[in-house]
Amino acid sequence: MSMSTRTGLSSAPRGLRAVWTAAHTPVAGVPRWATNLAYTVPFLVLPSGLWRIVTVLFGDGRNQDAGQLPSWLPVEAYVVLLSVASELLAFTAVGLIAAWGEVFPRWIPGLGGRRVPTSAAVIPAAFGTLALTAVWTTIGLATEIAGTTIQGDPLPAGYPGLGHGWSLVFFYATYAPLVLWGPALGVLTVAYWKRRRRNGP
């Protein structure tokens, strides 16, 4: 193996570590509890995403109803894309404690290196908090307690919450953390707003 090849291979992990560090390192003034909470948010969403992927790829197909999906989009592809998108959305909570939540990354055309307006982060985060709390915390809990859909109809036969045994345990164990997603994002949003207000626009 040539020296250049070895150098390239060894520099790749260092490059990934640098990107990881830049994405996760909290800025000055962020309390430890906020840092820990921001790091926790993606892990609140990860179990449900993994459950969906495992169920649709390795399940028996009984719960793989295409519903309103277009005919050109396979259920498997939709579930994987939904899970990845959910995880990326959850990761934005880290931006409320990291530098890229206060200064646009340099790779963004026209904005790189500029300061992120406080409202540009707080307003979407606040709407996200309300939406997630409504969907998972309020409607989700109400649906489980009432045993009906949000329209008041009986839950469909393939609904995972109607299962039995370990499948039911795994379903609730992976989806229960989502109840905390909205409230956790709300707490981080308030902390971000207070810090930015204290440190200037």
- Residues 64 and 73: their CA atoms lie apart, in Å, by 13
pLDDT digits (tens, 9 = 90+) for 106-157: 888 999 889 999 999 999 999 999 999 988 877 777 777 766 666 667 766 6
State the average pLDDT over residues 91-108.
Answer: 93
Number of domains making up the chain: 1
More confident residue, 174 or 162: 174
pLDDT band at 5 (very low <50, low <70, confident <90, very high): very low
Binning pLDDT at 50, 70 and 90, where does residue 7 land?
A: very low
Q: In terms of Cα–Cα distance, which of 173, 137, 160 is closest to 59?
A: 160
Higher pLDDT, 99 or 201: 99
Q: Give the pLDDT of residue 67.
A: 56
Determine the structural domain holding residue 119 and report its residue range: 3-199
Answer whether 182's CB lies under 8 Å from 89's CB.
no
b/e burial code for range 51-75 (CB count within 10 A of at least 16 → b)? bbbebbeeeeeebbeeeeeeeeeee
